[in-house]
Structure 1
Amino acid sequence: MKLTATETALAVSEQAIRIHGGAGIMREYPVGRIHRDAFVYVIGEGTSDIQRNIIARDLGFKP
């Protein structure tokens, strides 16, 4: 669940920055903050690769 949620949040926030252009990365707009937060969530509690390994191990696969 964490893997899907964080990668989706990062992808959506990247799209929002593209839509807003230069304003998307300015501190005055929430889009940049949301993207920075999403990036932290991706690396917090293990990177996406680590999360994939944990899921594979729990399913009985050897990474």
Structure 2
Amino acid sequence: MATLVTVAPLFLGGDPFPSLAYAVCMLMGAGFLIAGAGVLRGIAVQRRQARSAAGPAAGSSAT
């Protein structure tokens, strides 16, 4: 939403925002990458905890 608000004046013929606003808008992608990395790290931690709670026999596939 913030990106749309930032670039809307360019398409609607209004006065453009200062360059700093566009620089901040570009940082949004970095924020999404950091958030995604945190989600993946949390998933990995939960999987490790679930495996250790289940015991050593749960991870092996011996028949």
Flag the structure with larger Rg: 2
> Given the two structures, how large is their TM-score scaled by the length of structure 2?
0.38
Q: Which has the higher contact order (CA 8 A, sep 6+)?
A: 1
> Given the two structures, how large is their TM-score scaled by the length of structure 1?
0.38
